[in-house]
């Protein structure tokens, strides 16, 4: 190589334009090829590059393309321009990790298709509300009320004040909770609420106790926080002393997920005493108590005189999953800390859907909707139980305390419920395996009924009967 500079044919040999993504503009491809050669030191620092006219002629491209590439290299510090002497490669520190340019595309990245992300609920899929009975027109009216000049501005990071007042009013009437709206923090679903709790209250190495069986997403949150995760079972809470010290304990006392069991009052009080003695936080995850059989139970939060319970609620099941709104009810001592954390995380949520939900609650539409859904879900649960009872699966026990949006069907020991779920999924039945929530719980299937009308439910049960019966036959 001529140290005084590269002639146009020399540089042409160094450039591998075909190795650069052909979909990029010509100047960008030339820029990337030159940058790779500079970073790999195939073109050394201090080397003078050919003129734009000479290189364009050598490569058979326009002079403007070469000029644009040179200007971009100069703007990023790879070239230095000397008046009257041309462009020279800058003296750069060695960067071996950059020698292989990451922009070269060998295989396109496969992203989920829109249909895969937004596909309709499968047969017997849990956690999906009855969208066929959702009051769309009333919700549209509430949305229109939120499209105001105020609704188009950024709002309070803690959440829309009116929505927080409506949540407090609802919790007071339904869950026996006497709190101030300032204790409510609006989140994008309960998962973000649990994440904020882990981020603010748990340090790496802290011991955290989670209920078994339980939602896997919760465990992933605390694993990511570096916590030492332990587990407990509701039936073992007869002796809370065995829990030992911990920083935090999370449970679903009103309706265990997914079995639906309720924690007795004496065990709730024992846990509150344990939390006070161990200076621990209790997280009360109340994911669907609105649909429990019978009247709603009082929240553990309402029994807490020591202000050590954090209540997590969500609208994903009472309204619809795409709303992405939930909330935390915090002890007074945590309000400022969590408000500031929320300001850092995302600055607050979109105002318009919050204002719409506040209006939907204030005018009584939310309460009326839930009353209708509770009746409907009880009917659909009974319908599913009757269909199962009339099938060849009638001998399999149904687990659960009634109500809710799903039931659990126990299958014999030795039956691989995860394999069953995989086979069912291939034919459109979206059940869940009980063992994925707790390997020690035994085998079973979580079957949703809330989103299914009679015809859809019948199709689901027919497929379920065929797949499960075949699996049971192999056990004989």
Paired strand residues for 329: 184, 311
Query: How confident is the model over 142-155, as a mean pLDDT?
Result: 79
Asked if the 156-347 domain carries CATH number 3.40.640.10, the reply is yes
* pLDDT tens-digit series, residues 398-446: 987 788 999 999 999 889 999 999 999 999 999 999 999 988 888 999 9
C-alpha–C-alpha distance, residues 366 and 369, integer Å: 5
What is the arithmetic mean of pLDDT over 244-249?
96
CB atoms within 10 A of CB 40: 16
CATH code 1.10.10.10 for 8-98: yes
Summarize pLDDT for 80-122 with one digit per residue, the tens.
888 777 888 988 877 554 444 444 444 444 555 544 455 678 9
Give the whole-angstrom CA distance, residue 189 versus residue 475. Answer: 42
283: confidence class by pLDDT, cuts 50, 70, 90: very high
Please state, in angstroms and rounded to a whole number, the distance separating the CA atoms of residues 159 and 349.
7
Q: Give which of 388, 379, 382 is closest to 461, Cα–Cα.
A: 388
Angle subtended by helix axes 454-475 and 417-426, to nearest 10? 130
At 321, give phi and psi (nearest 5°). Answer: -60, -35
Q: Where in the chain is the domain with CATH 3.40.640.10?
A: 156-347
Q: What mean pLDDT is predicted for residues 262-275?
A: 90
pLDDT band of residue 177 (cuts 50, 70, 90) is very high
Within its chain, how far is the Cα of 295 from the centroid? 30
pLDDT computed for residue 13 by the predictor: 45
CATH number 3.90.1150.10 is the correct assignment for the domain at 368-475:
yes
* CA dihedral sign of residues 256, 260, 265, 267: negative
Residues of the chain with CATH 1.10.10.10: 8-98
The ranges of the chain annotated as CATH 3.90.1150.10 are 368-475
């Amino acid at each position: 190589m001529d140290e005084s500079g590269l002639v146009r044919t020399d540089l042409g040999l160094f450039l591998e334009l075909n190795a650069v993504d052909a979909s990029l503009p010509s100047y960008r491809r030339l820029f990337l090829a030159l940058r790779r050669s500079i970073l790999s030191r195939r073109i050394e620092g201090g080397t003078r590059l050919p003129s734009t006219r000479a290189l364009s002629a050598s490569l058979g491209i326009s002079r403007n393309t070469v000029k644009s590439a040179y200007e971009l290299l100069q703007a990023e510090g790879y070239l230095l321009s000397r008046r009257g002497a041309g462009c020279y490669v800058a003296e750069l520190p060695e960067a071996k990790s950059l020698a292989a340019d990451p922009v070269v595309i060998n295989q396109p990245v496969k992203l989920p298709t829109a249909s895969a992300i937004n596909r309709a609920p499968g047969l017997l899929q849990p956690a999906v509300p009855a969208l066929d009975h959702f009051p769309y027109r009333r919700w549209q009216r509430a949305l229109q009320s939120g499209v105001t000049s105020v609704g188009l501005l950024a709002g309070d990071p803690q959440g829309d004040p009116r929505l927080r007042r409506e949540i407090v009013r609802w919790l007071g009437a339904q869950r026996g909770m006497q709190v101030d709206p300032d204790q409510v923090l609006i989140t994008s679903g309960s998962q973000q609420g649990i994440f904020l709790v882990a981020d603010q209250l748990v340090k790496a190495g802290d011991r955290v106790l989670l209920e078994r069986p339980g939602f896997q997403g919760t465990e992933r949150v605390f694993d990511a926080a570096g916590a030492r995760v332990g587990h407990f079972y509701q039936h073992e809470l007869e002796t809370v002393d065995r829990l030992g010290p911990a920083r935090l304990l999370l449970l679903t006392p009103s309706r265990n997920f997914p079995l639906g069991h309720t924690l007795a009052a004496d065990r709730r009080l024992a846990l509150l005493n344990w939390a006070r003695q161990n200076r621990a936080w209790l997280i009360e995850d109340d994911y669907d108590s609105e649909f429990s059989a019978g009247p709603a139970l009082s929240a553990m939060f309402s029994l807490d005189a020591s202000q050590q319970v954090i209540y997590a609620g969500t609208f994903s099941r009472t309204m619809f999953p795409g709303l992405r709104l939930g909330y935390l009810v915090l002890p007074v001592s945590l309000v400022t800390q969590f408000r500031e954390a929320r300001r850092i995380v995302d600055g607050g949520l979109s105002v318009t859907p919050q204002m719409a939900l506040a209006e939907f609650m204030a005018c009584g539409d939310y309460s009326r909707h839930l009353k209708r859904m509770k009746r409907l879900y009880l009917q659909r649960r009974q319908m599913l139980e009757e269909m199962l009872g009339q099938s060849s699966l009638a001998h399999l026990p149904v687990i659960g305390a009634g109500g809710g949006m799903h039931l659990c069907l126990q299958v014999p020991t030795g039956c691989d419920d995860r394999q069953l779920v995989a086979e069912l999924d291939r034919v459109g039945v979206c059940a869940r395996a009980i063992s994925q929530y707790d390997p020690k719980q035994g085998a079973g299937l979580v079957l949703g009924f809330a989103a299914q009308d009679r015809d859809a439910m019948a199709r689901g049960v027919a497929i379920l009967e065929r797949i499960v019966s075949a699996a049971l036959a192999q056990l004989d």
